Structure 1
Amino acid sequence: MLKRLLLLSLLCWQFVPAQDYFLEKYQPYAAEIPTPEDYLGYGIGEHHTRHDLIVSYLEKLAEVSDRATITEYGRTHEGRKLVMLTVGLPKHLAQLETYRKNQLANTDPTTPNTATDQPLFVNLGYNVHGNEPSSAEAAMLTAYTLVASNHTEVLNYLAHAVVFIDPTINPDGRDRHTQWANAYQGSPLNADPQDAEHNEAWPRGRTNHYWFDLNRDWLLAINPESRGKLNWYHQWYPNVVTDFHEMGTQSTYFFEPMKANGSLDPIMPKENYGELNDRFAAHFSQALDSIGSFYFTKELFDGTYPGYGSSYPDLQGGLALLFEQASSRGHVQKTAFGEITFPFTIRNQYVSSMATVKAAVANKAYLQEYQHRFFSSAISNANKSKIKGYSFDVPNDRNRLKAFMDKLLIHKIKVYENQQGGFTVPTAQPQYRMVQSLFETYDQYRDSVYYDASAWSVAHFYNVKYRPTSKLSLGQEVTDLNGFIETPSLSASEYAYMIKGSDYNVPALTHYLQSKGLVVSTAFKPFSAQLSGKTESFPYGSLVIAVPLQKKNSEAVFNILKEGQKRFEIPIYAAHTGMNVSGVDLGSLNIRAMRKPKAALLIGEGVNSYEAGEVWHLLDTRVHMPISKLRTAQLGRVNLDKYNTLVMVSGRYDLSKKEQEKIKAWVQRGNTLITLAGASKWAIDKKIVSEILITKKKDSTETQVRKPFVTASEHLGRERVGGIIAQVDLDLTHPLGFGYSDPKLPIYKNNTVWLKPSKNPYATVAKYTRDPHIDGYISKTNLNEFMKPAASLMVSPLGGGRVILFGHNPNFRGSWYGTNRMFLNALFLGDKIYNPAD
């Protein structure tokens, strides 16, 4: 009987008017408000709706109804609008600014709860993964219902809540998928799971323009979509936030509660993932039961990582709610229980949207009081700790420090100058739980299998050295970063200019100068120079621009450098002599001219699009340097000699023997191949290089211990490295280590590629330390048998060229400022790496 109900609900939309399938419950509707079908010219679910049409429909609602207004909170990389439709009774919309200020005051523990006499704020967020499209269609139905319905239930919701509808969090990815699904839509529809409609081509629509997963970006705030949403969020602090997704076609529907939080002592109040989740779950089950939909809870997913749309609001005094709908991956697809249709998936999301509003209104007073208690408990929790703050500084790299400070400020974390010349974040502040997320590290967990990363102490992402403190010496609060970096005025020289190699923006400045036609040299040994009566130290990797050796005159060189300093906020020093106080002089053989990179990146089916996008994003947005993206399917026809550097990220490279030999021969001609994580394993497995992986020793006499079948995923999952932070020892004298001042460096590891240190004593650039664990879950086997003896970065000579093998991903999620430099050194200095043993 239950299966029959499910089949009927899957198919019934075909036998009733399409709009009634969704909207019948909330009649009557205002006749002057256009339905989605009226506006689009087709029924919801008949086609996938482009983002611009979704936005224009919401704009139409705001135009014709006094219940709605629409605002733009940002633009995507591709220029698409990010919009928020605000729905409420006219009298509430007229008072919205007052309500907003009261809501902000409610997050201040020093003030009484001021938000209890006003509507609740509910934020319905949809379609953060572009190829999980059902929720954005449901957003239009929800918007229409709340704007046009005069049903007593809807009017009651609006009497007690203002609803903010974010229809498409990832417009670029959505439109990539929409184009695919509509382009391959058949007539009649084709339910064959193998049909092209249900199998997008690489990179697929899940991710944004640079192939980032925006549902991991709330904490890291790298992309404009996330930054716009965070800026909006901290103006409103909604009490309830939804996060609508899709999952595998053979599944059903998921809503919270999730599986138990993986942290041993979660910083999120138990009241959030216990009491509140249970209150809302009752409403979701009732709503889905009423339409015959099946669902599950608690088995999958976790909110341990604070950067999801379903976890970040939990750390801001709200309730975040995850929904996962089995996907039709097109318009209709066969499953084990019959056919699942696009309209059916939309209906579940729509019903859950309305149930969310209903549950929020039913718990209005509780939610408002909970939000105030949440921020009050932040202060009381901080006061119980011996740690009263975290002090830090990055004295030799203001741009990296600025990037870290930006993360503090976007999350509304208070930070102050301190008396030691650095900065301090006090713990006793409303955002204490975010302070914990950015600074605290853990090595004990109640779980060993994570849906995502188990380590996210953001200070380590930026290689920021910090220390907890029990005493505070706070100076002026830092509230914005305008003028944060002050560069001295550049004076002209007819002889040379010098730039210290330690700044994060050195590679970007190098590329800028090279693109303007200047020859840039780098220091392979440090030196100190007397400049304006002061001795300045220039470490490994510092830049030298010798004026007489340029093809441009001294005035042109000066103007280029002046503009470069302004763009990249790096001090540039004018030198009038080649004789230095100590170290090498400017004419030394250890001051070597740099080759301009001509870089390419392999992309396409089988390649890890996340890692490829991170490389592209880094070079585009920070170095402002183009990289040619070469599809693996075209590799046989590509002229590799146009490039001197090739990047391969993790992935499954189904290259022919001839294509493998083509890459190997190209390297041997004097070029540089850079392999990240899984690609390093590929290079070793395919004998491109003569290096070795550390693998588990097989014992033919070993007797397997019998284990229960049901525990297989848990036992096997423990040996995955889902994402931890570990420490390596870096050779600061190696070109790949240029720009670093401390050999102890945190890196991010989320794979099981373990590189055996090279037999060449000069080739292992970074090796894990004796006690490498910093943060996150790793099994004892992986830690002791694999990580501790392994290298994380090494160089393997190959003919006249070299392969630079990373065992980790130095560009993870666009956030690892601390390890980006190693990757950029590989691009800019790869040709300078020779084999001293030859």
Structure 2
Amino acid sequence: MFKKSLLGLLCFFSISLSAQDYFLKKFHPFDSNIQSPEEFLGYGIGERHTRHDLIVAYMDYLAQNSERASYYEYGKTYEGRKLVILTITSGENLNNLDALKEKHLEYTDPSKSPSDYDGLPVFINLGYNVHGNEPSGGEAAILMAYTLAASNSPEVLNYLNNSVIFVDPTINPDGRDRHTQWANMYQGNPLVADPQDAEHNEYWPRGRTNHYWFDLNRDWYLGIHPESRGKLTWYHQWYPNVVTDFHEMGTQSTYFFEPMKANGSLDPIMPKENYEDLNNLFGDYFAKALDSIGSFYFTKEVFDGTYPGYGSSYPDLQGGLALLFEQASSRGHKQTTAFGEITFPFTIRNQYVSSIATVKAAVENKATLRKYQQDFFKSALTNASRSKIKAYTFENKFDANRTKAFLDKLLLHKIDVYKNGDKYTVPTRQPQYRMVQSVFETYEKFRDSVYYDASAWSLANFYNVDYKSTSSLNLGEKLTNLSGLTNPRMVQKTDYAYIMDYDDYNAVAALNHMQEQGLVVSSAFKPFTAKTTDGDRKFNYGALMVPVSLQKKDANEVYSIVSEAQKVYQVPVYAVNSGYSLQGIDLGSRHVQPVTRPKAAMLIGDGVRSYEAGEVWHLLDTRVHMPITKIPMRNFDRAKLDKYNTLVMVSGNYRFSEKTMDKIKSWASKGNTLITIGSATKWAIEKKLVKEKLTDAEKDTTETVQRRPYVDASENLGKESVGGAIFKVDLDVTHPLAFGYRNSSIPVYKNNTVWLAPSKNEYATVAKYAADPHIDGFITKKNLEENLKPSASLVVSKVGAGRAILFADNPNFRGSWYGTNRLFLNALFLGNKIRIPE
């Protein structure tokens, strides 16, 4: 029995080592004092999916046992998982890393002109697994870390002497572990290759996204989540010369590496040397490496780096070379395809081989890369000097917290900002000129009409910043941090009433805080001027009023709650000792109405767009600190809706029985509020839940159909979609949904083809696209003239004693549209106050 077991054990180790040589045989010998991944984990790479905590543990182990490696934590995810980087280089380089870093950064400083381009090691960031259910990259990261930390092959030793390599094994740990649990839970023995098996078909929301169901590969530019913010902070300390971005795509495909499809911008701000010369240079290395193992691949056909927020585009705007890789996914351990079976180890090997090829290409062209990075930052100043625009200026006297959030993004990207009183100035002549362009410039003309992602990203419009370009400079003091930017004078105690400005972004969070603590808070439906303890003050639509004597708490408790809300959320609050206003309505007016606390639910699950659902959840969790019940679609038929006064339905494919439709309509008719976004709005209209209509552009049925080449079909059809553009709407600032806005013209983000017709009720169209609506991004002339211009962006429709609030556009897009979040939050908190005149 013992001999049989021993024989089996030896066979197991023989198979395991042989399997690992599938990846590593080229780089023997390895340091026997350092455990290989299979020795450390207890299984061979590719035999199962590796949990993130084990990846982190192995990175830490290598740092503890290899003189070539050091371990660094740059943050934690929402779920508490560590975000780590393993730095690997020669022992000598590692001991002198601070000095090497200082010399390296001189090449990113346009005021300096070092010229020893070949004397320094090249800095390489190997980034993996930004999409959690694209796991081959994370496994390849383990193999790369081991190879670099333990291999004694001459090839690897040369790489270590001539480079500093930063291995970021799992950029999205929360999503990865969600997928890892799924794949391992359904792994069969023997493996099941049938694409219909559960292993290959994750349930909603799947593992692609982070905790709040956001796509982190779009967040480099937006900088909303801790994963991205930690990485950006690290990135701007190092400015690597090369950055990789490893992904997976459909199972029926092969492998993709750059060069990409041509940049869609008419005049790309990225240097031509990047997307042509360097991409083609590195592409030769990738082709040769993949040819050597018999892998098939393609380039140039799809994907584009136009949007600056990818891991494969943001570094391009920082003087580096960002590289995208896409591997056909096994979506599990083995799956049948049209070309046979694709296995998890096969997908890992392609990523590993491309990782090695990246290091090889970077080392052999390090002088070129370093010279390019130096020229990049110097050309930023040269390009800025040629522009007539010398600066962008903005100010916001009414919403300090929204302005602060915008400034936070500028500083996160190391953009120079100056403050002079209430006015902020961003000069164009600075090293981050190309990021300044990304933030403020808008475009109407494009080289291409089909985009992998958004065609508009002027961040200032995301935050509804009223900015202007100028040809003169009046800088003031350079802004280095955000302290003191929101510092309202603390309110004095009163026995009569407190009034809170509603213009500030954080006012809704402060309102929720006070309601949670048991205060009754009212909203002013007309403006007024009051005599406060800080002097006469004009208050806009929506100003919040806390009447002290009408509370169930004494005056001291009321003051404690109000002052705490002000302190936590940094919003302006004023004390008044009389309800008699100097102008406008008095505090006892029927136009000052108590705000009902939302009891909100949202549908999630199969058929619901997880991105949009996550945006709602994230907004309420992280900024308003208000709970929302997430009801899975599978449970909705038996859910008791009467517990809630608000139901949110984001874009999705909703298929309800007639009984369930009656349930929703009956619930809304009782005085409750249904909020629909995007395609959910289209669904509500088509199912006649509301009496609104969609814009119906007239079609000429007599028009002769023009023949077109079959090969152009996808391009011609694709351009009719609206992938992401920014438009101007005219907003009714007297409407409760628009409380907190002072300007009737605001930008909105449209990434769908939901064309909502203005309501036939003359008081129900809250936001309609302006006569000249285009601000930024691509849209066909047909869509602009026939569909968008006649349409509305936001309509309220009567449903019995209740209402449906219909958003054509997503007001919470990617957690970044601070400028339209208020429309959605008003729908939650003030929706039930809307009375639609007949």
State the TM-score bracket (shorter-chain normalisation).
over 0.9
2:408 maps to 406
Distance 1:236 1:82 in 2: 17
1:523 maps to 524
Residue 329, structure 1, aligned to residue 322, structure 2: no
Distance 1:343 1:440 in 2: 45
What SS does structure 1 have at the residue aligned with 2:476? Answer: strand
Distance 2:93 2:663 in 1: 67
What SS does structure 1 have at the residue aligned with 2:766? Answer: strand
Within-5 A mapping of 1:347-746? 347-418=349-420, 421-532=422-533, 534-746=535-747
2:71 maps to 70
What SS does structure 2 have at the residue aligned with 1:772? Answer: strand
Q: CA deviation at 1:501?
A: 1.2
2:226 maps to 224
Distance 1:587 1:429 in 2: 54
1:61 maps to 62
Distance 2:205 2:649 in 1: 15
The residue type paired with residue 548 of structure 2 is: V
Q: CA deviation at 1:411?
A: 0.0
Distance 2:16 2:517 in 1: 66
Q: C-alpha deviations, 1:425-470, integer Å up to 9, x for none?
A: 0000000000000000000001000000000000000000000000
Asked whether the equivalents of residues 102 and 115 of structure 1 are also in contact (C-alpha less than 8 Å), the reply is: no
The residue type paired with residue 306 of structure 1 is: P
Q: C-alpha deviations, 1:787-822, integer Å up to 9, x for none?
A: 101000000001010000000000000000000000
Distance 2:166 2:696 in 1: 52
Q: CA deviation at 1:145?
A: 0.4
Q: CA deviation at 1:104?
A: 2.5
What SS does structure 1 have at the residue aligned with 2:835? Answer: coil
2:10 maps to none
What SS does structure 2 have at the residue aligned with 1:17? Answer: helix
1:84 maps to 85
Q: CA deviation at 1:391?
A: 0.3
2:190 maps to 188
Distance 1:323 1:36 in 2: 23
Distance 1:736 1:256 in 2: 46
1:4 maps to none
Q: CA deviation at 1:533?
A: 6.2
1:271 pairs with one of 266, 270, 273: 273
2:6 maps to none
Any gaps of 5 or more consecutive residues in structure 1? Answer: 1-12
Q: CA deviation at 1:530?
A: 2.0
What SS does structure 2 have at the residue aligned with 1:507? Answer: helix
2:125 maps to 123
1:828 maps to 829
Within-5 A mapping of 1:290-329? 290-329=292-331
Q: C-alpha deviations, 1:308-354, integer Å up to 9, x for none?
A: 00000000000000000000000000011100000000000000000
Distance 1:740 1:115 in 2: 55
Q: C-alpha deviations, 1:77-118, integer Å up to 9, x for none?
A: 000000000001111111111222222222110111377332
1:18 maps to 19
Asked whether the equivalents of residues 726 and 774 of structure 1 are also in contact (C-alpha less than 8 Å), the reply is: yes
2:769 maps to 768
What SS does structure 1 have at the residue aligned with 2:222? Answer: coil
2:4 maps to none
**Structure 1 residues 116-125 or 708-717, which shifts more?**
116-125
Distance 1:608 1:331 in 2: 27
TM-score, with structure 1 as normaliser: 0.97
What SS does structure 2 have at the residue aligned with 1:450? Answer: coil
Residue 148, structure 1, aligned to residue 150, structure 2: yes
2:11 maps to none
**Structure 1 residues 548-557 or 695-704, which shifts more?**
695-704
What SS does structure 2 have at the residue aligned with 1:430? Answer: coil
Distance 2:668 2:526 in 1: 27
1:286 pairs with one of 279, 288, 291: 288
Go from structure 1 to structure 2 and tell me whether the alpha carbon gap of 1:611 and 1:14 turns closer, same or farther (over 3 Å shift).
Answer: farther
Identity of aligned residues (%): 65
Asked whether the equivalents of residues 99 and 115 of structure 1 are also in contact (C-alpha less than 8 Å), the reply is: no
The residue type paired with residue 187 of structure 1 is: N
Asked whether the equivalents of residues 115 and 368 of structure 1 are also in contact (C-alpha less than 8 Å), the reply is: no
Asked whether the equivalents of residues 103 and 114 of structure 1 are also in contact (C-alpha less than 8 Å), the reply is: no
Asked whether the equivalents of residues 726 and 775 of structure 2 are also in contact (C-alpha less than 8 Å), the reply is: yes
Asked whether the equivalents of residues 737 and 826 of structure 2 are also in contact (C-alpha less than 8 Å), the reply is: yes
1:165 pairs with one of 167, 190, 194: 167
Q: CA deviation at 1:305?
A: 0.1
Asked whether the equivalents of residues 16 and 43 of structure 2 are also in contact (C-alpha less than 8 Å), the reply is: no
2:343 maps to 341
Runs of 4+ aligned residues of structure 1 deviating over 6 Å after TM superposition are 13-16
Distance 1:790 1:519 in 2: 38
Residue 209, structure 1, aligned to residue 195, structure 2: no
Asked whether the equivalents of residues 419 and 479 of structure 2 are also in contact (C-alpha less than 8 Å), the reply is: yes
The residue type paired with residue 643 of structure 1 is: Y
Asked whether the equivalents of residues 131 and 205 of structure 1 are also in contact (C-alpha less than 8 Å), the reply is: yes
Q: CA deviation at 1:690?
A: 1.0
What SS does structure 1 have at the residue aligned with 2:359? Answer: helix
Asked whether the equivalents of residues 302 and 450 of structure 1 are also in contact (C-alpha less than 8 Å), the reply is: yes
Distance 1:788 1:35 in 2: 62
Distance 1:466 1:237 in 2: 29
1:95 maps to 96
Residue 108, structure 1, aligned to residue 109, structure 2: yes
Distance 2:173 2:501 in 1: 41
Asked whether the equivalents of residues 106 and 115 of structure 1 are also in contact (C-alpha less than 8 Å), the reply is: no
Distance 2:116 2:615 in 1: 42
Q: CA deviation at 1:532?
A: 3.8
What SS does structure 2 have at the residue aligned with 1:468? Answer: strand
Q: C-alpha deviations, 1:192-211, integer Å up to 9, x for none?
A: 00111000000000000000
1:3 maps to none
Asked whether the equivalents of residues 203 and 604 of structure 1 are also in contact (C-alpha less than 8 Å), the reply is: yes
Q: C-alpha deviations, 1:538-574, integer Å up to 9, x for none?
A: 0001000000000000000001111111100002101
Asked whether the equivalents of residues 533 and 575 of structure 2 are also in contact (C-alpha less than 8 Å), the reply is: no
Distance 2:181 2:718 in 1: 36
2:135 pairs with one of 116, 129, 133: 133
Q: CA deviation at 1:584?
A: 0.5
Q: C-alpha deviations, 1:503-527, integer Å up to 9, x for none?
A: 0011101100000000000000000
Asked whether the equivalents of residues 120 and 364 of structure 1 are also in contact (C-alpha less than 8 Å), the reply is: yes
Distance 1:625 1:611 in 2: 17
**Structure 1 residues 207-216 or 699-708, which shifts more?**
699-708
Q: CA deviation at 1:702?
A: 2.8
The residue type paired with residue 21 of structure 1 is: Y
2:8 maps to none
Asked whether the equivalents of residues 289 and 357 of structure 2 are also in contact (C-alpha less than 8 Å), the reply is: yes
Go from structure 1 to structure 2 and tell me whether the alpha carbon gap of 1:801 and 1:14 turns closer, same or farther (over 3 Å shift).
Answer: farther
C-alpha RMSD of matched pairs (Å): 1.1
Q: C-alpha deviations, 1:204-258, integer Å up to 9, x for none?
A: 0000000000000000000000000000000000000000000000000000000
Distance 2:465 2:116 in 1: 38
Q: CA deviation at 1:622?
A: 0.1
The residue type paired with residue 448 of structure 1 is: S
